[in-house]
C-alpha cells in the first residue's frame, strides 16, 4: 500500500512539474497552442497504447495497435480516404507501371453493388465466361457488402498463378422478367498488361476512343492515336480531318487530376478547366492555346461508373458546349484523392485533399453529371447510334449556311 501511495505521489509531482514547465513555455511564447495540443494528443495516444498492452485480456503488440490507430483515423474522415497496406501499395505501383497479376476484369460501383464493367480479352475472367453486368457478392467466401471498391480490386489481384474464388449474381431472361442466379467461379490469376486506352475507326471517318482510367499520359496517348486514325481515315479523301470523335468514359473511375486537365486541353484553347478547393486554398487549372482538336465534333459517353477525374473531363467539355454528353447520370464523386508517400511500415495513405468545381462552378458530389442525351448505357448499339447521330447533326449544322448569310 505504501509503495502504491509513493508511486501515486511521484506521478502527481511529475504531472504538476510538467504542467508548470508547459505553462511557463506558453507564457514566454516558446510553445504555441497548436504545438501543445499536438503534444497532449500524442501523449494521450502513447498512454492509451501502454494501458491497452498492459491491461487487455489478450496479448497485444505496439505495431498492431499503431496500424489500428492509423486505420481508425483515416476511416473517420470520409468514404474515399483509405489506408493501403504494404502489399496493396506495391500492387498499385506495379499496375501503374503497365503490368499486374489479376483476373482481367474492371469492377465498379453500380447501384451500391460491385459490378463487372468490362473484361480484358484473353484474360482469366473472359475465359470463365464472366459477363459485363455480373455482380460480385463473395470473394473467398466472404460477403463483400460494406467493403470499399479498393478492397475488392485488391482481392482480385495477387501473385501470378494464385487462385481466387468468386460468387457472382447474374440476371438471366425468364419470360417477361429477369431472374437472378448465383454463379461460382474459380479464377487463376495471370500477368496482364494494363491497357487503359483503346481506339478504332468507326463509319464515316469518325474515331472512337475508350479510356478505362485517367492516367497521366492519357492526353499524349490520345493525341498520338487520333493522328494515326486521321491518316487512316483520310488516305483516300481530299478532306484531311476526322469527321468526329466519340470519347468513351463509361466505367472510368477517374484517376489523375493532371490527366483530366491535359485531356480537356486537347479540345479547348482558353478558359478555366477545373477549380479545386481545399483547406489550403483554391487553385484553378487553365487551358493553353496548344489545342490540336479544337474544332473536331465531339461526343463524350458517360454512365454511372464515370467518376472523379472522368467527371471533370465531361463536366468541363459540357460547360463550354464543346462536347455533347451521351449516356446516363454519372457517379457523383466530386473530390480529389492524393496518394501520399509511404509510411515507415510500408503502408500509404490515400486521402481526400480537395473538392472540385467545373468552369461554371458546378459540384457533382451529390447528383453527378446529367447527360445532354439520355440513353441506356448498357445498350451498346443504342449508345453508339446516338453518338453517331449527334456527330452527324453537328457536321450537317456546320455545313449548312445560316439564314443571315443567304442572299
Residue 91 grid coordinates: 500492387
Render 4-60 in DSSP notation, one character per residue: HHHHHHHHHHHHHHHHHHHHHHHHTTSS-HHHHHHHHHHHHHHHHHHHHHHHSSS--
Instruction: Round the CA-based radius of gyration of the chain to a whole number and report it.
Output: 27
Q: How open is the CA angle 278-282-284, to the nearest 5 degrees?
A: 125
Question: Across-strand partners of 119?
Answer: 105
Q: Can you list the positions of beta strands (E) in 190-347?
A: 190-193, 197-201, 206-211, 244-248, 272-278, 281-286, 298-302, 324-327, 335-339
Q: In whole angstroms, give the CA distance from residue 284 to residue 216.
A: 18
Rounded distance between C-alpha atoms, residue 228 and residue 405, angstroms:
36
Nearest-angstrom CA–CA distance, 258 and 264: 10
Q: What ranges in 157-304 are assigned the alpha helix state H? A: 218-234, 257-264
CB 26 within 8 A of CB 39: no
Taking CA atoms, 327 is separated from 101, 332, 354, 356, 379, in Å, by 32, 15, 27, 22, 10
What span, in angstroms and rounded, lies between the C-alpha atoms of 263 and 216?
9
Give yes or no for a contact between 288 and 343, defined as CB atoms under 8 angstroms apart: no
State how far Cα 198 lies from the chain centre: 19
Report, as residue numbers or ranges, the catalytic residues. 308, 319, 333
H or E segment to which residue 358 belongs:
none
Nearest Cα to Cα of residue 206 among 183, 182, 234, 178: 234
Within a 10 A sphere around the Cβ of 341, how many other Cβ atoms?
A: 6
What is the DSSP track for 43-56? Answer: HHHHHHHHHHHHHS
How far apart are the C-alpha atoms of 395 and 390, rounded to whole Å?
A: 9
Amino acid at each position: 500500500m505504501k509503495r502504491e501511495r509513493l508511486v501515486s505521489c511521484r506521478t502527481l509531482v511529475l504531472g504538476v512539474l510538467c504542467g508548470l514547465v508547459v505553462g511557463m513555455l506558453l507564457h514566454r511564447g516558446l510553445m504555441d497552442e497548436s504545438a501543445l495540443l499536438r503534444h497532449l494528443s500524442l501523449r494521450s495516444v502513447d498512454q492509451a497504447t501502454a494501458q491497452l498492452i498492459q491491461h487487455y485480456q489478450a496479448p497485444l503488440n505496439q505495431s498492431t495497435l499503431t496500424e489500428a490507430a492509423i486505420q481508425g483515423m483515416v476511416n473517420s474522415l470520409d468514404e474515399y480516404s483509405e489506408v493501403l497496406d504494404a502489399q496493396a501499395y506495391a500492387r498499385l505501383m506495379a499496375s501503374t507501371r503497365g503490368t499486374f497479376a489479376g483476373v482481367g476484369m474492371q469492377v465498379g460501383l453500380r447501384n451500391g453493388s460491385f459490378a463487372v464493367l468490362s473484361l480484358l480479352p484473353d484474360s482469366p475472367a473472359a475465359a470463365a465466361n464472366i459477363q459485363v453486368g455480373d455482380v460480385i457478392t463473395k470473394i473467398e467466401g466472404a460477403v463483400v457488402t460494406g467493403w470499399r471498391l479498393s478492397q475488392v480490386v485488391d482481392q482480385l489481384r495477387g501473385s501470378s498463378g494464385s487462385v481466387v474464388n468468386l460468387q457472382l449474381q447474374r440476371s438471366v431472361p425468364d419470360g417477361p422478367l429477369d431472374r437472378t442466379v448465383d454463379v461460382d467461379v474459380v479464377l487463376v490469376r495471370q500477368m496482364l498488361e494494363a491497357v487503359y486506352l483503346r481506339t478504332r475507326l468507326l463509319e464515316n471517318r469518325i474515331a472512337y476512343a475508350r479510356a478505362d482510367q485517367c492516367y497521366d499520359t492519357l492526353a499524349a496517348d490520345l493525341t498520338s492515336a487520333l493522328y494515326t486514325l486521321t491518316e487512316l481515315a483520310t488516305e483516300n479523301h481530299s478532306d484531311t480531318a476526322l469527321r468526329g470523335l466519340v470519347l468513351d468514359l463509361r466505367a472510368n473511375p477517374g484517376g489523375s487530376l493532371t490527366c483530366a486537365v491535359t485531356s480537356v486541353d486537347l479540345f479547348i484553347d482558353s478558359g478555366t478547366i477545373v477549380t479545386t478547393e481545399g483547406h489550403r486554398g483554391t487553385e484553378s487549372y487553365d487551358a493553353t492555346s496548344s489545342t490540336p482538336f479544337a474544332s473536331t465534333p465531339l461526343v463524350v459517353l458517360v454512365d454511372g461508373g464515370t467518376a472523379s477525374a472522368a467527371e471533370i473531363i465531361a463536366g468541363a467539355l459540357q460547360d463550354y458546349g464543346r462536347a455533347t454528353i451521351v449516356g446516363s447520370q454519372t457517379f457523383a464523386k466530386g473530390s480529389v484523392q492524393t496518394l501520399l508517400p509511404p509510411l515507415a511500415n510500408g503502408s500509404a495513405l490515400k486521402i481526400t485533399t480537395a473538392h472540385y468545381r467545373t468552369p461554371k462552378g458546378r459540384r457533382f458530389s451529390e447528383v453527378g453529371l446529367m447527360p445532354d442525351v439520355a440513353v441506356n448505357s448498357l445498350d451498346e448499339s443504342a449508345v453508339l447510334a446516338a453518338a453517331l447521330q449527334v456527330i452527324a447533326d453537328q457536321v450537317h449544322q456546320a455545313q449548312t449556311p445560316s439564314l443571315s448569310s443567304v442572299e
